[in-house]
Amino acid sequence: MDVQDDVAYAKIAKKIKFVSMGAIFLFFVGESAKLLYYPTILKACVAARWGSEYTDDQITALTSYYKGGLDMANSLLGFLAGPIIGALSDKFGRRLPLMLCFVSSFIETLLVAVSIFYQEVWIVALGRALGFLSNTSITIMVAICSDVCLTSAARAPMLGIIMVGVAAAIIVGPASLGVLGLWGIQWSFLVALVAAVWFLLLVVGFLPEPLNIKGKYGQSESPSSSINHGAAVPSQPPSNKVSFRDLNPIRSARILFSRHLPFLGFLAVFQFFGSFAEQDIASTFVLWTDLRFHFTSLILGLMMSFYGVLMCVAQGWFFGFLTSKIGIRRSFVVGIICSILARVGYISSVNMYILIAAIPFACMSSTSTLAINVLTLKELDKDSTSSGQTGGVLGSMTSLGSLAGFLGAVVAQTVFAYFVSGHAPVYFIGAQFVLSLALYSLLLIATLVAMSWFKDTDPPKTDPDRQSLLSGDP
């Protein structure tokens, strides 16, 4: 590209960056209603059916079993759909999968809202099953990051900025919806549905198709590009032609475990076990805080907003700062260590102050998730055969996470329910965190070994001034 193309591309990339951040913000404001009230609504449905037969602790344990089963079904469907949605995004562009995410999330939110009035477990179950595409929104955003960044160095800060939208939604969503919940949970879900509609309008009306932009301006950074007579291999815009071969999830999954990219295979394995370990807090946080601290919905919303503020700092500034100082691989290790420290804090949370002290480490642990995405894209740059399959490969990574969620949700919920049901030898609310602590400790050792085996090889860097322009930095 010449200088004029660089300037034009920088403007379009900046528009995509901020529209994506706004879209993901609205999407997760809608998701925060389910995050905040879904366990509470499910518990109310369970209590309406069996409240006269069991104590409150037993109702909580039964709710945990039900939630584990519903999360398992949601994750299983996500596991099957992830690679297919990723492959569709490579063929038809990124906006179509985002719209499918909207439809899936909207239906789930609507059905959960309906269950407030009818208090039937099957309505919640149906909504949870139909919301299986919600998790793929982050996958598509990572693919967009790959599309609009022409340099590896630009990906980490851009991905961090987009993820600030998620963190900002966690700030605004739970706190505002928690306040609205004082007048009735139904008002919170009404706001969530409105936010979801605005997300759709923003994607349809203001988000340019990133693959079209990549097809016009994009070029490969991979070393294999320079071997092809010294010429860069242009990226292709999306095609409307699609075959069952393109939608085959195994095709993209094979790249994850290619012998040419051994470190990518390790990242895929880490994605699975890391997602499994994360289910301890993802599946039990609301029920755990209810038993441990007796939080109201308002206090829980404010706590999540505090978490969101720290997530903004961690993803919007800390991740970029850390990678610029110590590199992406060491940042990955720092994120794992923070996950371990967060579990230590959860286990020892005998009062709310210890929990508050543990939350910053939980937020900083998100650097490992962001690092996996950046490292995955970096590994794909090394292999010319993976060109045009970025969405499919990222979908396969998400699929592994969903499979881990399928299994991890059952394990975390079962362990939590067993140790609070009164049938266990000891009453221990935080037993699920001990399991995750052990798993993260093993993952830390495995990561250090893998990094010593698979040395980092950076693709060629562009001119510093041009790289600054394309990354949007002054």
CA-nearest of 175, 180, 436 to 283 is 436
pLDDT tier, 457 (very low <50, low <70, confident <90, very high otherwise): low
Min mean pLDDT across 11-20, 111-120, 144-153, 230-239 is at: 230-239
CA-nearest of 333, 399, 403 to 364 is 333
Min mean pLDDT across 70-74, 114-118, 299-303, 387-391 is at: 387-391
pLDDT at 336: 95
d(CA 55, CA 370) in angstroms, rounded, equals 42
Question: Is the model's pLDDT at 22 over the cut of 60?
Answer: yes
Question: Which one is predicted more confidently, 267 or 192?
Answer: 267
CB 297 within 8 A of CB 291: no
pLDDT at 65: 78
Residue 245 has phi, psi (to 5 degrees) of: -65, -40
pLDDT at 157: 67
pLDDT tier, 340 (very low <50, low <70, confident <90, very high otherwise): very high
d(CA 286, CA 297) in angstroms, rounded, equals 9
Question: Is the model's pLDDT at 337 over the cut of 90?
Answer: yes
The predicted model gives 156-170 an average pLDDT of 71
Question: Is the model's pLDDT at 7 over the cut of 70?
Answer: no
Question: Which one is predicted more confidently, 333 or 228?
Answer: 333
* DSSP per-residue codes, 132-154: TTTTHHHHHHHHHHHHH-SSHHH
What is the total residue count of the chain? 474
pLDDT at 5: 57
Question: Is the model's pLDDT at 46 over the cut of 60?
Answer: yes
3-state helix, strand, coil in the chain (%, to 5): 80, 0, 20
Degrees, nearest 5: CA angle 240-244-245: 95
User: Mean pLDDT highest for which of 174-178, 202-206, 212-216, 273-277?
Assistant: 273-277
Question: Which one is predicted more confidently, 176 or 273?
Answer: 273
CB 385 within 8 A of CB 352: no
Angle (deg, nearest 10), helices 56-92 and 136-148: 30
d(CA 213, CA 14) in angstroms, rounded, equals 12
pLDDT tier, 445 (very low <50, low <70, confident <90, very high otherwise): very high
Question: Is the model's pLDDT at 407 over the cut of 70?
Answer: yes
Q: What is the mean pLDDT of the chain?
A: 75
298: left (phi over 0), alpha (psi -120 to 50) or beta: alpha
If you search the block for the tokens 């995405």, which residue do you land on? 373
Against a cut of 0.75, is the pTM above it? Answer: no
Determine the residue type at 414: T
Contact partners, residue 241, CB within 8 Å, separation at least 6: 91
DSSP state of 461: P
Question: Is the model's pLDDT at 469 over the cut of 50?
Answer: no
Question: Is the model's pLDDT at 232 over the cut of 50?
Answer: no
pLDDT at 345: 93
CB 470 within 8 A of CB 6: yes
Min mean pLDDT across 19-33, 194-208, 238-252, 422-436 is at: 238-252
d(CA 201, CA 436) in angstroms, rounded, equals 40
Residue 421 host element (H or E): none
Min mean pLDDT across 29-38, 119-128, 132-141, 380-389 is at: 380-389
pLDDT at 208: 78
Which tokens in the block code for residue 292? 């441990």
Contact partners, residue 269, CB within 8 Å, separation at least 6: none
Q: How far is CA 248 from CA 71, 134, 171, 245, 420, in A?
A: 25, 21, 38, 5, 43
The predicted model gives 107-114 an average pLDDT of 85
CB 453 within 8 A of CB 139: no
pLDDT tier, 218 (very low <50, low <70, confident <90, very high otherwise): low
pLDDT tier, 385 (very low <50, low <70, confident <90, very high otherwise): low
The predicted model gives 171-194 an average pLDDT of 74
Max CA-CA distance within the chain?
Answer: 77
d(CA 31, CA 177) in angstroms, rounded, equals 11
Min mean pLDDT across 68-82, 95-109, 312-326 is at: 68-82
